Structure 1
Amino acid sequence: MIIRNPNREIALIKKVLGQNQPLTRGSLAGLVKSFVTKNRRSILSIARAHATPFYLFDRQSLDANISRFIAAFARLAPKQNIFYAMKSNPYVPVLKTVVRHGLGLDVSSGTELQLAVNAGAKRIVFNGPGKTAAELGLALKHRSKVTVNLDSFAELKTLGSLAAARKQKIRAGVRLVSTTSHGAWNKFGVPLEQIETFWRTASRYQNISLEGIHFHNSWNANAAPYVETIKTIAAFLKRSPRVRRSLKFIDIGGGFWPYRVDGYYPWLLPAGEIVRTAHAAQKTAASFTDRYYLSESVPLASYAREIKQAVDKHLAPLGDYQYYVEPGRSISYPAFHIVMRIADVKGADYGIADAGTNIVGLDTYEYVYHPLINLTHFGTKEITFELFGSLCTPDDVFGHYCYATKMAAGDVIIIPNQGAYTYNTAQPFIKDVAPVLPLPNR
């Protein structure tokens, strides 16, 4: 036996299994029906003319989503202070669409910085840990457009030395270690208790204008993490007049989860994982109450309203600051859809697609629920059907249910709203990365 104290571990497992977990039950049937009504005919036409699989670039939906975000955050951040986090999807037409709307770009490498410049971005924030001298040198080259959010004292020293040697001035902020996360998230930023020292150190570098504080909390179900961090920053500024007087911007970061477009399977929860693992060990099938749960989130307007209220209450009395936001997936998610065909039906409730999950970076769909839609034999209700990819590996699953009346070889299947962290994480594993085709305006 590998467990030192079985009774303690059994008691712990019982405790986890007995915990009440806050769950968002619901269905995405309304979203699916609306998508099919709007797009079915044009997508089937494209699928007849082109080999599957492919991504569809939906510029019309991206345009509409950018406009929604600008409107939601208008009272907090004007559009020039909205920086699209291009790591969520760096497809050049996506970047150019964002820039055309007047938004800036958020980059986290020299590669992304060059892409942002090439896309015509007028304003760029450079985030991320471990920036190299070459990357910081590139930021200096484009200093009229770039604000560097420094991640450490070492980055400050490197940028300060480069700027002095080149006799070039650049604007900067400093990233704060997240006050609402822990563990691996602590790799980012400078601890709050060191920010005043950081400010004093930065003052020695005459070519660096340190003007901002940046923080970032990811995967936020609501505005609470932003509000908590805003309170923390306000309390710090009250006791640090040096920082308060020279501060010009506060970068709130991103992490706004799209509302009611995806979900997760029960086995992603601690209790579900225990049950599934136990059944797998016994070679039996686990049974769960619900097929999936909807991802916890709130509408964009709710994030914006509560953040603005916190800013007005805690930060506005301390100074006339500008506020930046860095949306990623909340902008890009409707920009791409994934289209494939059923290559083989191998049983009544399972089959093989002509795509592999390398189209998104492998095992995403084993845990994250996105609706599968059969455009050939569309149905308004989901049927149980496990759709595997065609990679020569078992960890190649697209989903366990499909909106369909039946499933047959050759049927066109679409997974909508796949514009975030799919195209950019795809890899040529066994199969080539799929091409991108345009979806005409409807």
Structure 2
Amino acid sequence: MTDLTEAARRRQHILRAAVRQRLLDPERPELLLAGFVDLDGIAGTVASLHRAFPGSLRVLHAFAAKANSLVPVLAELRRHGMGCEVATGGELDQALAAGFPPDHIVFDSPAKHRRELERALGLGITINVDNFQELSRIGDILDGRPPRSRIGVRVNPQVGGGAIAAMSTATQTSKFGVPLTDRGSRERLLRAFEEHPWLTWVHTHAGSQGCPLSLMARSVAQAVDFAEDVNHRLGRRQVTGIDIGGGLPVNFATDEVSPGFDEYVRHLREHAPALFSGRYEVITEFGRSILAKNGLTAAYVEYTKSAGGRPIALTHAGVQVATRTVFQPEAWPLRITAHDPHGAVKHGRPVAQDIAGPACFAGDLLARDRALPLLEPGDIVALLDTGAYYFSTPFHYNSLPEPAVHGVRVDGDGQVRFELIRPAQQLDRLPTP
């Protein structure tokens, strides 16, 4: 174990404990695959987020629920002082079930139904309006009454995209928000703030994975500039808050956490210094960067074979838990480590091999031509950095069941304690007609 990094030793320690405690068991179909959330790691990551922003700033760090909407995970984040950003009525239900108070919840869907808006306004949940039609709908619902909610408008600064088009939301033709550079759009939005004194926030989000920090910071700068324009034009501090979104990219190549929240704050200070002036409250909406590196997925190797001279390991983890990686491997590569049946890291000469999933289509591959110690039946593969969007957002191809998810804490004496977050789905217990 001396040649392993601290992070690798911790993963090995957790996997060996999971095997000993029969949370992974090659003899039980429902335990051939499981997800693990490092609850100690979450505490450390959230603490680093709080430290990155100056204590003089009034900030609500709202976790983006779509990154991992499992209610016990959301409740853990709430206990560490976070709020919750939701993008659907379902995520709103999960946030409330996790115990978030309504004034710590932010509702950010581009297609909010009238009943969803009525519910959110009734509860006093913060709402970021996506478009002028939604703004009109909210005005009709309020009917002249002052809102309990903080209400803002999402602006699209149209500053461009990052390396992954699907993750870039500040492009010229993005479906999100009110564009600021389209002809007449900015002026129309300024008039809307003038007509609706209850519009007191501005929201922006440039994108996530693949977006450079400078692009994200320039997006925030445009939102702050628009807020300053509103207040200058109206001669009063109507806009009192800026929601800067989330989107901090994650390093999926190594154990290093980079970039960090502190680095992003340095970019924000450079591009949007008025954000730190004290004139505005701030909301953040980080998701992947909070959870990704605090989770892993483990699965048994069922069979091994060779085709065209290349070894293939057939495992129980595939498209059902790594959907983005399977369908867009170039954009979403995952690190994979090889372990023996007891959970210990395998050593040996690396051999190029394919790591395949159980689904019935040829593209269900976690990795192609990946150099690892040669896998054998009964071994375990660990998919790293999967705490966000992977096991928490299962894809039910071939009716593959949802795996169990366990929270993990390691005591000072090295004892590993597991907490069930989600039980394994039992397809043999489905209701019958």
Band of TM-score, shorter chain: 0.7 to 0.9
> Hey, what does 1:321 align to over in structure 2?
280
> Hey, what does 2:189 align to over in structure 1?
198
Measure, in 2, the Cα distance between the counterparts of 1:185 and 1:380: 50
Report the AA paired with residue 153 of structure 1.
Answer: F
Of Structure 1 and Structure 2, the greater strand share is in 2
Q: 1:235 to 1:112 in 2, by over 3 A?
A: closer
Shift of residue 67 of structure 1?
1.9
> Hey, what does 1:42 align to over in structure 2?
17
Measure, in 2, the Cα distance between the counterparts of 1:429 and 1:252: 35
Report the AA paired with residue 238 of structure 2.
Answer: S
Q: 1:150 to 1:195 in 2, by over 3 A?
A: farther
- Report how many residues are paired: 376
Q: TM-score, normalised by structure 1?
A: 0.76
Report the AA paired with residue 243 of structure 2.
Answer: D
Deviation per CA, 1:36-63, whole angstroms, max 9, x where unpaired?
A: 4543422332324862112223322222
Please state if 1:310 is matched with 2:271. Answer: yes
Q: 1:343 to 1:354 in 2, by over 3 A?
A: same
- SS of the aligned residue for 1:81 comes to strand
Shift of residue 341 of structure 1?
0.8
Shift of residue 76 of structure 1?
7.8
Shift of residue 332 of structure 1?
1.5
Report the AA paired with residue 200 of structure 2.
Answer: E
Measure, in 1, the Cα distance between the counterparts of 2:146 and 2:282: 29
Question: Alignment partner for residue 39 of structure 2, among 59, 63, 68?
Answer: 59
Shift of residue 163 of structure 1?
1.9
Measure, in 2, the Cα distance between the counterparts of 1:424 and 1:247: 36
Report the AA paired with residue 118 of structure 1.
Answer: A
> Hey, what does 1:269 align to over in structure 2?
none
Shift of residue 96 of structure 1?
0.3
Shift of residue 217 of structure 1?
1.3
Please state if 1:261 is matched with 2:249. Answer: no
Question: Alignment partner for residue 118 of structure 1, among 97, 101, 109?
Answer: 97
Asked if structure 2 preserves the Cα contact closer than 8 Å seen for 1:126 and 1:149, the reply is yes
Deviation per CA, 1:193-213, whole angstroms, max 9, x where unpaired?
A: 5345334335545xx721111
Measure, in 2, the Cα distance between the counterparts of 1:413 and 1:326: 32
Measure, in 2, the Cα distance between the counterparts of 1:59 and 1:239: 43
Please state if 1:189 is matched with 2:177. Answer: yes
Deviation per CA, 1:299-356, whole angstroms, max 9, x where unpaired?
A: 32211222134333x4556x71112211010112134321111111112621211233
Measure, in 2, the Cα distance between the counterparts of 1:336 and 1:111: 23
Report the AA paired with residue 47 of structure 1.
Answer: L
Q: 1:93 to 1:77 in 2, by over 3 A?
A: farther
> Hey, what does 2:115 align to over in structure 1?
134
> Hey, what does 1:160 align to over in structure 2?
139
Asked if structure 1 preserves the Cα contact closer than 8 Å seen for 2:68 and 2:389, the reply is yes
Q: 1:48 to 1:235 in 2, by over 3 A?
A: closer
Measure, in 1, the Cα distance between the counterparts of 2:155 and 2:258: 24
Measure, in 2, the Cα distance between the counterparts of 1:158 and 1:201: 13
Deviation per CA, 1:63-95, whole angstroms, max 9, x where unpaired?
A: 2222222222345855x5111010111011111
Shift of residue 239 of structure 1?
4.7
User: How do residues 81-96 of structure 1 correspond to structure 2 at under 5 angstroms?
Assistant: 81-96=60-75
Report the AA paired with residue 249 of structure 2.
Answer: W
- SS of the aligned residue for 2:192 comes to helix
Shift of residue 165 of structure 1?
8.1
Shift of residue 246 of structure 1?
1.0
Which ranges of structure 2 fall in alignment gaps of 5 or more residues? 161-169, 411-433
Superposed CA RMSD: 3.1
Which ranges of structure 1 fall in alignment gaps of 5 or more residues? 1-28, 264-293
Asked if structure 1 preserves the Cα contact closer than 8 Å seen for 2:249 and 2:288, the reply is yes
Question: Alignment partner for residue 375 of structure 1, among 335, 339, 363?
Answer: 339
Report the AA paired with residue 395 of structure 1.
Answer: G
Sequence identity percentage: 23
Shift of residue 177 of structure 1?
1.1
- SS of the aligned residue for 1:54 comes to strand
> Hey, what does 2:299 align to over in structure 1?
340
> Hey, what does 1:406 align to over in structure 2?
374
Report the AA paired with residue 330 of structure 1.
Answer: S
Shift of residue 224 of structure 1?
0.5
> Hey, what does 2:241 align to over in structure 1?
249
Measure, in 2, the Cα distance between the counterparts of 1:230 and 1:183: 14
Shift of residue 236 of structure 1?
4.1
Shift of residue 114 of structure 1?
1.9
Asked if structure 2 preserves the Cα contact closer than 8 Å seen for 1:151 and 1:189, the reply is yes
Q: 1:403 to 1:437 in 2, by over 3 A?
A: farther
Asked if structure 2 preserves the Cα contact closer than 8 Å seen for 1:173 and 1:213, the reply is yes
Of Structure 1 and Structure 2, the greater helix share is in 1
Asked if structure 1 preserves the Cα contact closer than 8 Å seen for 2:202 and 2:227, the reply is no
- SS of the aligned residue for 1:246 comes to coil
Q: TM-score, normalised by structure 2?
A: 0.77
Measure, in 1, the Cα distance between the counterparts of 2:98 and 2:41: 20
Report the AA paired with residue 173 of structure 1.
Answer: G
> Hey, what does 2:398 align to over in structure 1?
430
Please state if 1:212 is matched with 2:174. Answer: no
Shift of residue 380 of structure 1?
7.8
Measure, in 2, the Cα distance between the counterparts of 1:310 and 1:252: 13
Shift of residue 409 of structure 1?
0.5
- SS of the aligned residue for 2:136 comes to helix
Measure, in 1, the Cα distance between the counterparts of 2:185 and 2:263: 32
